[in-house]
Amino acid sequence: AAHELPDFFVKIIEDELNIKEVIFRDDMSDFLAYHVKPNFHVLGPKVGKQMGAVKKALEASDGAAVKDALAGDGSYTLHLPDGDVTVTAEDVEVTVSQRDGYNCQSYGGVTVALSTTLTEALIEEGFVREIISKVQTMRKECGLEVTDHIALDLSGNPRLVEIARRNEAFIREITLADSLSCDAPMGTSKEWNINGEKLTLSIK
C-alpha cells in the first residue's frame, strides 16, 4: 500500500530499530487472526434453539470478514440450514490474536507487525553488524580518529571467522580496515560476546 512517510523517515526507522525492511499495508490479516464468538446474553433470546448452530457457524467463520462487515454495514449474515441469521456488533464478541511468527501492537488506529522469524541470512547479518559495532567501540577506546585506517584480526571462533570472511568487503568498508586477518592477534585485543558467541577482535 502507498504510505505517507517520506523515504527519509522510513530509513530512520530501519536504521534505529535494526529492521531489514519496512512495508506499509492496508490489510493486516496475514499478521492478525480474528476470532468471533456469540454474546449469549444478547444473542440467545434472538435465535433461541438455533444458538448451537449459530455458535458453531460464528466460530468457524472468517473472523476478519465478520469484523469488516460489522464495521461497514453493521451486520453479518450467517447462512444456516434452518434459515439465515443476521448478527450485529452487540450480538458477538470479536477478539484478535497475533499469528505465529509475528509480534503485533496497535495504537491510535495503527498496527505494527514485527516478524520474529530469523532466517540464516538474518542471523548472519546480525553477527556482522555486531562485529562492526564492537570494532567501532574499540576504535573509540583506542582514541582513533574517524578517518584513521586500521588492520583487523578475528580469532577464537571458527563460525564467526567464516561469517566475517564471507562479509569481508562490507566489514572492511565500514570499519576502515585495510586488511582483515584471522587467528593472528596483534595490537590491541579484546574478547567480546557476539550474540552469545565469544570472539576475540584485534586492531592495529
The 10s digit of each residue's pLDDT in 86-96 is 999 999 999 98
Q: Of 74, 78, 50, 201, nearest to 134 (Cα)?
A: 201
Structural domains in the chain, sorted by start: 7-115 (no CATH), 120-203 (3.30.2320)
* CA torsion through residues 30, 67, 10, 108, sign: negative
Residues 6+ apart with CB under 8 A from 73: none
Mean pLDDT of 161-174: 96
More confident residue, 8 or 2: 8
Element (H, E) at 83: strand 83-88
- This model's pTM is above 0.75: no
Tell me the pairing of strands 197-203 and 188-194: antiparallel
> What is the number of other CB atoms lying within 10 angstroms of the CB of residue 171?
21
* CA torsion through residues 50, 52, 53, 54, sign: positive
pLDDT at 1 over 70: no
pLDDT digits (tens, 9 = 90+) for 59-86: 999 998 998 899 898 999 999 998 899 9
Integer Cα distance of 171 and 124 in angstroms: 13
